[in-house]
Amino acid sequence: MTVADYNRCVDQYADAVYRFLVKNIRDPEKARDLVQDAFEKLWINVDRVDAGKAKSYLFTTAYHKLIDQIRIDQRNRPMAEGMLGEYAHEQQYSDLKEILEQVIVQLPPKQRSVVMMRDYEGYSYKEIAEITGLTESQVKVYIYRARVFLKEKIGSVTMLV
């Protein structure tokens, strides 16, 4: 991978990686740092990474850094997830997108990540499995369970709206 390839990756994937991270952890500053870390790692290994696999490499790095970050956050704020769930129910929803934004954070981190990779980036089960280190079956199960959870949430909320 050349320097030009690397810079092309920045143009093509920085927003996607950032979007994936910021929607996951809901903290733009931390998401920015994680994006920077992911690209820094890519830069260090620029000679080893094939340009065609750079996106997957970036998402793999970003995913693992994200999981680490979530673990750290959970250790520091063990009640955050639960509180967020209650808080979310009290919101006044204006549209479906907003509802989804609110309920997606209630998913367990791994389910949330795989659904995001599936929907945002259109990755196949196999690709997601490679990025996350899960098996294809696990990825599929996570996606199915996440869909049911989201469906139930938006189903009950849209009835109220």
Partner 1 sequence: MIKTGLDNYEVWFLDFLEGNLNKSRLEELDRFLSLHPEMKEELHEMELLHLPAEKISFKGKSGLKHTPADYAGVTEEDYQCIAFMEGDLNRSEQIRFKDQLKKDKNLKRKLYLFTRTRLVPDASVFYPGRARLKKKRRLVSAWIYPLAAAVVTGLAFWLWPGKTPEVNHPHYLQMAVKESLLDLNKNDITLKNSTIQLPAAPGFMIPGKENRNIQPMAYLPRKSLHHLPVTARQSDEPGVMLAETRLISKADDTYETLYELALRLFRERILGEPAELVKKQQFTLWEVADVGVQKLNNLMDTGIDIEREYNSTGNLKKVNFNSRLLALSLPHR
Residues in contact with partner 1 by CB under 8 A are: 3, 6-7, 10-11, 14-19, 22-23, 32, 35-36, 39, 43-44, 46-47, 96-97, 100, 104, 115-116, 118-120, 137, 140-141, 143-148, 150-151, 154-155, 158
119 CB neighbour count, 10 Å cutoff: 13
The residue (of 6 and 84) whose beta carbon lies closer to partner 1 is 6
Please work out, in degrees rounded to the nearest 5, the angle formed at the alpha carbon of residue 119 by the alpha carbons of 114 and 121: 90
Q: How far is the CB of 145 from partner 1 (least distance, A)?
A: 6
From first CA to last CA, the distance across the chain in angstroms is 51
Q: How many residues in total does the chain contain?
A: 161
Nearest distance from C-beta of residue 134 to partner 1, angstroms: 14
Min CB(39)–partner 1 separation in Å: 5
